[in-house]
Amino acid sequence: MLATVHTYALVGVEATPVRVEVDLAAGAFPGLVLVGLPDTAVRESRERIVAALRNQGLRYPDRKITVNLAPAGLRKAGVSFDLPIAIALLVASGQAPPERLGELVWAGELSLEGRIRSIRGSLSMAVSERKRRRPRTLVLPRGNGAEAAAAQGVPVSEVGALREVVRLLLEGPAGFRVPAVPAGRQALPRPPALGADLADVRGQTAARRALEVAAAGGHNLLFIGSPGTGKSMLAERLPGIQPPMSQEEQLEATMVYSAAGLLPPGSGLLAQRPFRAPHHTVTRAGMIGGGSPPRPGEISLAHRGVLFLDELPEFRREVLEALRQPLESGAVAIVRASQSVRFPCRFQMIAAMNPCPCGRRLDPRGGCRCTPRMVANYLGRVSGPLIDRIDLHIEMATVRFRQISLTQPSEDSATVAGRAAAAWQRQQERFAGHPRVRLNAEMGLPEIREHCSLRRRSLGLLRMAMSRLNLSPRGYHRILRLSRTIADLGESDEIEEAHVAEAVSYRVLDREEVG
């Protein structure tokens, strides 16, 4: 007897439809043959399914069983195929009715006692199912339903054990329906640093302004300063001044965390922008993504959020160089011999570094013993092409006692966030006809030509800066994007000379010797 069950295979952060076909052959030598490019975890499903059926009081067919995962050319990975294979076995052996199989999509891992465990990527499955003209009911393990229901528009049911599955097929999914989760529900704990306020930062007026400009336009930012000047403190406060995520951004970011298996059971959509701060010992695969099957790296986990790289020159050269293409394209492709997987990574990079090996070169008290060659070698650990992709470079001075001891607080995050939100709103209106561009930092050449025209004096200032700083064409275009953001913060439709001058002042490392 033949039975067909519908499920999904997770490929990167996307879910691809898969048909699980099971055939029971009478009179043949008993056994199970699994075809369709399964990985080790899928091949091991036989042992879990046999034990789960017996421990739930169900019968494992004593026949030759052929399981085909179609399309056969797509590699299948993970444990989510346990449940659909078990369902197909129950239907093919007559232990469950086949009538409702066309209305249901299954995914779940089986324990040896027959319970159904949570899986990765249930939100991606719901998003793919939502694209159908008539979405089917998605049957998931208990704890994954809220995540999938957050996609909205797809019926979702939860099951906890194989016995419930038989009842679901007999009675229908109405009693198992999971209500939709509000879009603003927070899926991950809020990191303590994100609750901090800019009012805690004393002094550093220029660095605070640079942080505001970066938040307003989605620009990459590099802080350069001696240890203890507040570089990390400022970087950790960036999410607090960024405007809230749109529902589309929440969905995109949550799909990445779902595919990585980092969402707690019962979670909905991410409410806060991700903030990732990997240690400088991170590997290339940990930063970019990789493994078998490929998993998202730190840059994808920071999608629609912030990637903070502290002690930038201490990162391995190969890791930093691997960031160049994702910073431009907003996506990374992990290529293996058997498949190619694409992960989104539209993140805002904030980095921090010392000005020299000892860190005291900018300290007015002196004490730096680094030679010019030592400084050049240190700065050369970060390549010129990578520096070129960072819009703002800002040197941070040492905070004096008088600034630290002031009792009057600095401007708080809420005030700065209000100005950044107003600038974001101007950009949303400007790029309403450009579906791939949301912020000034994402503008391509056509958008720059349309929205970053300069008057004669502003153009002359930029020409002089290009000549003196020896800027590359990429650096030229980044100054234009940055000038547009500064003008937006000033509620100006035109890019004035002062806006260009401020943008040029943020290109500190263009005056230094970098690799």
**Quick check: 208 and 201 in contact, CB under 8 A?**
yes
Residues 253-264 pLDDT 10s: 999 999 999 988
**Quick check: 305 and 191 in contact, CB under 8 A?**
no
Please give the pLDDT value at position 514: 45
pTM of the model: 0.89
Please give the pLDDT value at position 465: 84
In this structure, whether the domain defined by 192-511 belongs to CATH 3.40.50.300 is answered with yes
Residues 365-418 pLDDT 10s: 777 889 999 998 998 899 988 998 999 999 987 766 555 555 566 788 899 999
Bridging pattern class, strands 340-344 and 331-335: antiparallel
Please give the pLDDT value at position 471: 79
For residue 62, what pLDDT band results from cuts at 50, 70 and 90? confident
Report the C-alpha gap between 125 and 111 in whole angstroms: 22
Asked whether residue 182 carries a pLDDT value surpassing 60, the answer given is no
Asked whether residue 85 carries a pLDDT value surpassing 90, the answer given is yes
Asked whether residue 180 carries a pLDDT value surpassing 70, the answer given is no
Per domain, the residue ranges of the chain are 2-176, 192-511
Percent of the chain with pLDDT over 90: 58
Give me the residues paired with residue 110 across strands.
Answer: 116
For residue 222, what pLDDT band results from cuts at 50, 70 and 90? very high
For residue 221, what pLDDT band results from cuts at 50, 70 and 90? very high
Report the C-alpha gap between 465 and 339 in whole angstroms: 46
CATH: 3.30.230.10, 3.40.50.300, 3.30.413.10, 3.40.50.11890. Which one for 2-176? 3.30.230.10
Please give the pLDDT value at position 64: 92
Please give the pLDDT value at position 46: 92
Which tokens go with 487?
């003008």
Residues 489-500 pLDDT 10s: 999 999 999 999
Average pLDDT value for residue range 25-54: 89
Asked whether residue 512 carries a pLDDT value surpassing 60, the answer given is no
Report the C-alpha gap between 29 and 190 in whole angstroms: 56
Percent of the chain with pLDDT over 70: 91
Residues 144-154 pLDDT 10s: 988 898 888 89
Residues 436-465 pLDDT 10s: 889 999 999 999 999 998 988 888 988 888
How many Cβ atoms are within 10 Å of 439's Cβ, its own excluded? 21
Report the C-alpha gap between 423 and 438 in whole angstroms: 12
